[in-house]
Amino acid sequence: MNNPFENAMAQLDKVSKLRDFGDEFITRLRQPDRDIRISIPVKMDDGSTKIFEGYRVQYSNAMGPYKGGIRFHQDTEINEVKALAFWMAIKCAVAGIPMGGGKGGVTVNPKDLSKGELERLSRGWVMRLSDVIGPKKDVPAPDVNTTPEIMMWMADEFEKITGDKTHAVITGKPLANGGSEGRGTATAQGGFYVFEALRNELGLPEKCKVVIQGFGNAGMHAASIWSKAGHTILAVSDSKGGTWNENGLNVEELITYKKEKDTLAGFPNGTDVTNGELLEAYCDLLIPAAFENQITDTNASKIKAKVILELANGPTTPAADDILASMDIHVIPDVLANSGGVTVSTFEWEQNLKGEHWSEKEVFDKLEPLLAEASKEILTIAKESKTDLRRGAFILALERIKAKMSI
């Protein structure tokens, strides 16, 4: 199994060979500022107490307060969280927002918990970390299996402990509790803005044939956004498998079917496909929107997409990057492609601190030019450095982080 943090450091090494950032700077970026592991005791419904392992990695606050989601997943472990925190530091710098990089998690399958147990676990995470998070210190957000309701519980617990009433300590909250308009679709919408900014330069047609791996928040909204813009969704998948229709899938029907069946397998207006088959399908645009390490040195040579846009974090390994580059397949990297989520999270934080509430139009009117400008800057750097978009994005981010560090 690929170690996500080793993959992240391999990406850093590749970029440091293209541009001389200085040994001290690169050495400092090879480890997080803090790597916190906690034990969270939770009273279960049957009266027993169960201990859950939790994490918060604070990678770099050179650009601003640590920022990054909290994931609840049975496979979550410290190397994954460290990698995600590092990528978040890069991502915030790419977007040019005043936030650093952090990430959190709990090793748990939330489907195994009752709602009461889940709330006690969520509040317990905050109890253990209330001294190191805060609106000007570290601002968590949702991630895999964490919802606006969970964010509300966490913000409420932080207020109980500290008395802070801004709710700016947590983003991704429900609208009624200080959440931002547009937050639910921000990752996918931001990815679409990046796609639009780069489509012509990458040689994609005006209307693309699109394949999406993952049908959670990002993948589902991506399918809807690309479909409404006139692109054809050929295939989508979730963890249990996927469905394909060469004439295009009806996204609204897919969403309804997924909600009813909790799977995409067996969708009546499509043909079942595995995740492996989906990744290797002929298409203009492949959007990995699930987990890390989906495109590796094992399957990269079988990819037939013209362009890959990474809505997931770390779906392509460094070895796969090299193979794809040799095949002239462009990869729009996660640190650019999915940065809409953290950018709108930052907008929520800003609104909370100022006591404001922006309309969805205001949110997206601010988001689009930020991501379009970042896309063009990265493309220019990649061309000048004769490298790919991922390394171009890392160069831009590292330059910005170094400028803020006292080295």
Does one domain contain both 318 and 208? yes
pLDDT for 368-396, tens place per residue?
A: 999 999 999 999 999 999 999 999 999 99
Domain contains 126: yes
CA dihedral (225, 196, 391, 336) positive or negative: negative
Does one domain contain both 265 and 300? yes
Does one domain contain both 82 and 193? no
CA–CA separation, 211 and 303 (whole Å): 12
Does one domain contain both 115 and 233? no
Overall number of domains in the chain: 2
pLDDT for 120-176, tens place per residue?
A: 999 999 999 999 999 999 999 999 899 999 999 999 999 999 999 999 999 999 999
Domain contains 343: no
Does one domain contain both 36 and 163? yes
- CB-based contacts of 91: which residues, under 8 Å, 6+ apart? 101, 334, 335, 336, 338, 339, 342, 397
- Decide which of 337, 355, 383 is a domain's last residue: 337
pLDDT for 60-91, tens place per residue?
A: 999 999 999 999 999 999 999 999 999 999 99
291 pLDDT band, cuts 50/70/90, is confident
Q: What is the CATH number of the domain that holds 318?
A: 3.40.50.720
Does one domain contain both 301 and 238? yes
Does one domain contain both 147 and 75? yes
Does one domain contain both 196 and 130? no
pLDDT for 246-256, tens place per residue?
A: 999 999 999 99
Amino acid letter, 228: K
Does one domain contain both 276 and 146? no
pLDDT at 2: 75
Domain contains 113: yes
| Strand 305-309 with 330-332, pairing | parallel
Q: Which residues are catalytic?
A: 103
- Decide which of 141, 169, 197 is a domain's last residue: 169
Does one domain contain both 161 and 192? no
Q: Shortest CA distance to 221 belongs to which of 38, 109, 364?
A: 364
pLDDT at 151: 97
**By residue range, what is the domain housing residue 135?**
30-169
pLDDT for 96-127, tens place per residue?
A: 999 999 999 999 999 999 999 999 999 999 99
Domain contains 224: yes
Domain contains 147: yes
- Decide which of 137, 169, 201 is a domain's last residue: 169
Strand partners, 140: 68
Does one domain contain both 328 and 190? yes
Q: What is the CATH number of the domain that holds 87?
A: 3.40.50.10860
**Is residue 236 within 8 Å of 254, Cβ to Cβ?**
yes
Domain contains 68: yes
Domain contains 43: yes
Does one domain contain both 148 and 202? no
Q: Is pLDDT at 312 greater than 70 in this prediction?
A: yes
pTM (2 decimals)?
0.94
CA–CA separation, 288 and 299 (whole Å): 14
Domain contains 314: yes
